[in-house]
Amino acid sequence: MSTQLSPYDSAIGFVGLGDMGGPIAYRIAAAGFALSVWSRSVHSLTELAGQPYVAVNSLRELGRQCDIVAICVFSDADVRDVVLGADGLMAAMSSSSVLVIHSTVSVALCREIAAAGASRGVHVLDAPVSGARAGAVNGTLTIMVGGDPSVRDRITPLLTSYGQVIRWMGPVGSGQKMKMLNNVLAFANGALANTAIETGVALGLDPASVLAVLESGSAASSALDSLVHTLIPDPVYTAHAATMIAKDTRLFQEQCRRDELAPTVLEQLAVERITHPVPDVSLATPASAVARGPRTPVTPPPGSDASR
């Protein structure tokens, strides 16, 4: 296997072409990396339209052929199945290869996978991402990495094809701890924004004006922006977001208990947000709100050769 990462001599594998993984994989191919993917659904391959890639028939084939494999699936169960399952990646990955876990999952699972990797000489990094689909599309994600920094030079060119801020947080699991903290703060901010909007309406203020002022004034935040532009206009996506909030809040709670930390207001507000993702008032969609609508097209990174 190659030990030097470049866009043209390292084989990159990717699993999980969903809302985040699709545009991440697109940018990897657009940057000139030789990309292979495995997907349960042929439909998800449309995320890579216009870019060169190879679709393989099995996870083992992907693991066997690639120097670096990144995965971006939803849950602990999904990651375990893809990596450690009977036909999973790990059993086929070669010594000195790198597995990058972009999913938001438990620290315990990342450590278990890292131990399995160590027995085969496979480097395992937990590297959850933040920035939503727009960040993946635009290549501006924040990536929180846990793992052996000796592979930093090998992996950084790949990560910079879709990430803008890349921070190495510590040993395996540290990326997940940072992602959990980031997410519950965002959930807590959203819960406070809900309360502020409800209070404004209760005070007799025009709902659209309340949203416009909060969004443009000193109370502005990414959580409020998401509330106004995505969650309020799109109840279907809100239901999906509530599932994610519940999963990530549970992960945070479990990790805090393992590390013997008492509950904080962050946790309390995040729990509230699970069943209260949007304000509990009737709101006319403000003129400034942009519904989720069709997915943002993915464009190649500046300077890339999209035809390569």
253-304 pLDDT, tens digit each: 999 999 999 999 999 999 999 999 999 987 754 433 333 333 344 444 433 3
pLDDT of residue 9: 77
Strands 54-55, 123-126: pairing kind? unpaired
145-165 pLDDT, tens digit each: 999 999 999 999 999 999 999
Least trusted range by pLDDT, from 49-58, 87-96, 276-285 = 276-285
Between 1 and 205, where is the model more confident? 205
Mean per-residue pLDDT for 111-133?
Answer: 97
* Contact by Cβ (8 Å): 135, 142: yes
Alpha helices in the chain (DSSP H): 21-30, 59-65, 76-84, 107-118, 132-138, 152-159, 174-202, 207-216, 222-226, 235-258, 265-275
Least trusted range by pLDDT, from 52-66, 200-214, 276-290 = 276-290
Between 305 and 114, where is the model more confident? 114
pLDDT of residue 233: 93
64-83 pLDDT, tens digit each: 999 999 999 999 999 999 99
* CB burial string 55-90: b at 16+ within 10 A, e below: ebeebbbbbbbbbbbbbbbbbbebbbebbeeeebbb
pLDDT of residue 197: 96
Q: Which helix (H) or strand (E) holds 164?
A: strand 163-170
Strand partners, 35: 12
pLDDT of residue 301: 40
| Cα–Cα distance for residue pair 238/227, rounded to 1 Å | 9
Q: Which helix (H) or strand (E) holds 288?
A: none
Rg (CA), the chain: 20
- pLDDT of 176 strictly over 70: yes
| Cα–Cα distance for residue pair 61/63, rounded to 1 Å | 5
| Cα–Cα distance for residue pair 30/24, rounded to 1 Å | 10
* Contact by Cβ (8 Å): 58, 82: no
Q: What tokens were used for 242?
A: 């509530």
